[in-house]
DNA sequence: CCTAATTTGCGAATGATTTGCAAAATCATT
DNA sequence: AATGATTTTGCAAATCATTCGCAAATTAGG
């Protein structure tokens, strides 16, 4: 049974994610940490992100340039609204899926098991 | 004005996509072509996929292993239902988004501009 | 056919992510 | 706070998908 140590580097990486609340790549997090004279190796940033994603405390998405980016989020099923202006991500509860599930079943004979949704737009602060 | 030639390799790549109707990586397409003694270089497969995606004739998604995969689809706005059994992808028209847009605006002050949805489940043939 | 424009194939370069391993840090116990 | 087992870190090297450069091959049009 693998124990998990609470280490300084891990705390520093998740602190960045909690503070920024937007999708960040490993390289971006690494750069942010360096700027505040906090030295965490890029490898450790990668490993910590995998760890957080594995525990469901972070969610990953591949951006348009092909880099994997991460954002903090809670474990429960939900979706993300990403602001095109500031990049901030808000958790959105899952509604209006029932009707889609129904349509999928009746129109396509498709039994829905899982789904993913992402929203893009402008947040309140950016308007 | 860049003309676009209709070449044999391009036709062979899109033929595979049209026939399979499921998400395929460049490497998988390349392997499928080799198996039928059709030699198209991996570079050309990549270039053709970019071309098709650019024209909106194919849609890309990054799979769990980090590989970019492509499937044929029409240009109009729609979403995909992917079968967990056979991998086949069906186009699904976009419904039930209005209510989500409303909720986003009223609950989060978020003005929806764009969205992406993906569905996973079991297709009619696989049940 | 001829020529110009475009595409192909190959191998080399790129760039993000992973991995191996010795040294450093963490944790539970004396 | 010293000990020792366990886990993590940092670094550099390895991986692996994707991109690029360029000469040779293919296509389109006359
Ligand atoms: Zn914003
Ligand atoms: Zn949902
Ligand atoms: Zn199926
Ligand atoms: Zn839609």
Mean pLDDT estimate for chain B:
95
The tens digit of pLDDT for each residue in A108-119 reads 999 999 999 999
Residues 6+ apart with CB under 8 A from A70: A17, A23, A24, A25, A26, A49, A52, A53, A58, A59, A60, A61
CA dihedral of B73, B74, B77, B79, whole degrees rounded to 10: -20
Whether residue B15 has pLDDT greater than 90: yes
The token pair at A27 is 């390289």
Q: CB B122 to CB A113 under 8 A?
A: yes
The predicted structure's pLDDT at residue A92: 92
Give all strands (DSSP E) within chain B, no chain letters. 24-25, 58-62, 68-72, 79-83, 89-92, 111-122
Q: Which residues of B touch A123 (CB under 8 A)?
A: 108-110
Q: Which ligand is nearest to the CA of A90?
A: 1
Distance, Å, B24 CA → C21 C1': 37
Which residue among B95, B103, B108 places its CB closest to the CB of A99?
B95
Which residue among B84, B112, B122 places its CB closest to the CB of A119?
B112
CATH topology of domain A79-126: Dna Ligase; domain 1 (3.30.1490)
Q: Which of residues 42-101 of B touch strand D (CB under 7 A)?
A: 42-43, 46, 50, 66-68
The predicted structure's pLDDT at residue A1: 73
Residues 6+ apart with CB under 8 A from A37: none
Give the environment of ion ligand 4: residues with CB less than 5 A.
Answer: B 94
The predicted structure's pLDDT at residue A97: 85
Distance A109 CA to ligand 3 centre (A): 10
The predicted structure's pLDDT at residue B31: 97
Selected from 1.10.15.40, 3.90.1150.10, 1.10.10.10, 2.40.50.140, the CATH number assigned to the domain covering A8-72 reads 1.10.10.10
What residue ranges of chain B are covered by domains with CATH 1.10.10.10? 8-72
Distance B88 CA to ligand 3 centre (A): 6
pTM: 0.91
Q: What is the largest CA-CA distance in chain A?
A: 58
Compute the distance between CA of residue A70 and CA of residue A29 in angstroms, rounded to an integer: 10
Task: Name the band, by pLDDT with cuts 50, 70 and 90, for residue B2.
Answer: confident
Decide if B43 contacts B29 (C-beta within 8 A).
Answer: no
The answer to whether strand D lies under 7 Å from the CB of residue A44 is yes
The answer to whether strand C lies under 7 Å from the CB of residue A6 is yes
The predicted structure's pLDDT at residue A96: 80
Closest CA to A21 of A77, A79, A70: A70
Q: Nearest-CA residue of chain B relative to A126?
A: B110
The tens digit of pLDDT for each residue in A25-74 reads 999 999 999 999 999 999 999 999 999 999 999 999 999 889 999 999 98
What residue ranges of chain A are covered by domains with CATH 3.30.1490.190? 79-126
Which residue among B110, B118, B124 places its CB closest to the CB of A110?
B124
Q: Which residues of A touch B97 (CB under 8 A)?
A: 96
**Locate tokens 């891990």: which residue?**
A10
Q: Which of residues 42-101 of B touch strand C (CB under 7 A)?
A: 43-44, 47-48, 66
Residues 6+ apart with CB under 8 A from A20: A32
């Amino acid at each position: 049974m693998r124990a998990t140590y609470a280490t300084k580097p891990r705390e520093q990486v998740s602190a960045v994610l909690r503070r920024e609340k937007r999708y960040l790549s490993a390289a971006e997090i690494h750069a942010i940490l360096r700027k505040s004279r906090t030295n965490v190796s890029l490898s450790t940033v990668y490993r910590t992100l995998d760890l957080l994603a594995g525990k469901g405390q972070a969610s990953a998405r591949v951006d348009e340039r092909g880099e994997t980016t991460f954002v903090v989020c809670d474990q429960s099923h939900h979706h993300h609204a990403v602001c095109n202006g500031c990049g901030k991500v808000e958790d959105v509860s899952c509604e209006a899926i029932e009707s889609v599930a129904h349509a999928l079943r009746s129109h396509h004979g498709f039994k829905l098991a899982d789904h993913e949704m992402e929203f893009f737009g402008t947040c309140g602060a950016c308007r």
